[in-house]
Amino acid sequence: MKNPKKHLQTALLLVVLFLVLAVSDIVYFPISHERLDFVQRFMVRQINKSWGEYSESMPKEKVKIVSYENFLGQFNFLERRFVERVFAIDPKELGFKGAYFSKKTVDDLVLIPQKTFEMPDGPYETGINYMPGYVYADYEKMMEAMEKDLGRRLYIDSAYRSPGYQGAIFFYYLGEKNNYSLKENAGWVAMPGYSEHGSENTALDFINQDGISGEGKDQTSETFEQLPEYDWLMKNASKYNFYLTYPRNNPYGVNYESWHWHWEKK
């Protein structure tokens, strides 16, 4: 006759062993740049869940300006340890060659109200955005000129993002959207401190009045590139201190982003 107590002890031992290995994987084991293992993929989902619960409890106008410290502070020990290990990786190892800016939050920001676009698959909301006052002033001047020339303007899909919010965006896209691949993710989303969206020379991601941003459903960089608004930007944006950061074959290891224009006083 089989001994049920012995089988229970064996099962408990296996569970404990699995938990020890899982914790070791999160805390100590190497992190693959190509694709995270199943325990690390589970951690990404948990981190996104924790951030989702935390961000939903915040006032909407605070989400995109949450500090890096507050971003880390809402995770448990294992989640925080894994986040810190990921962001300790040198982005150059992942193919990203952009500059480091800062993990400090920029002050004196102008709030840009949320805008909703009616799309074929349902409404799309930009959410509340921010940008420094001097960037906003040049953006408005540029849009006045575009409206005069084209009778159209571009709206803000994404502008300033605090390093804390950038961390949340990085893990969101690291999940299903970029196949749990750090290398693939780094081609689209910068780590906290490395994003132009988090610098004083804030980048703006544009969306036109028809809801075309290049990032929507069935849209690509080429979709935005074909707009008359994009052609106008290429000819005129530098007059207002805006520059396309990530053209084709850019030296930063970032994919072509026709919608992403940074502010820089030259």
Count CB-CB contacts under 10 A for residue 202.
Answer: 26
Enumerate residues 6+ apart whose C-beta is below 8 A from 233. 154, 206, 242, 244, 261
Q: Which of 32-47 are b and which e, b meaning 16 or more Cβ less than 10 Å from the residue's Cβ?
A: ebeebeebbbebbeeb
Give residue 14's pLDDT.
56
Q: Does domain 31-263 have CATH number 3.30.1380.10?
A: yes
Question: Higher-confidence residue: 266 or 116?
Answer: 116
β pairing state of 129-132 and 122-125: unpaired
Question: Looking at the predicted structure, is the pLDDT value of residue 20 above 70?
Answer: no
Enumerate residues 6+ apart whose C-beta is below 8 A from 13. none
Task: Over range 51-73, report the average pLDDT.
Answer: 96
Task: Over range 112-130, report the average pLDDT.
Answer: 94
CB 154 within 8 A of CB 208: yes
Handedness of CA 36, 39, 43, 49 (dihedral sign): positive
Give residue 120's pLDDT.
87
Look up residue 143 and give its two tokens: 């849009």
Give residue 114's pLDDT.
96
Task: Over range 211-221, report the average pLDDT.
Answer: 94
Give residue 121's pLDDT.
87
CB 63 within 8 A of CB 165: yes
Give residue 200's pLDDT.
92
Question: Looking at the predicted structure, is the pLDDT value of residue 33 above 90?
Answer: yes
- Residue 176's pLDDT band (cuts 50, 70, 90): confident
Q: Report which of 236, 78, 105, 232 is spatially closest to residue 167, judged by C-alpha positions.
A: 105
Residue 226 Cα distances to 27, 109, 233, angstroms: 46, 32, 12
Question: Looking at the predicted structure, is the pLDDT value of residue 226 above 90?
Answer: yes
- pTM (two decimals): 0.89
Arithmetic mean of pLDDT over the chain? 92
Question: Looking at the predicted structure, is the pLDDT value of residue 235 above 60?
Answer: yes
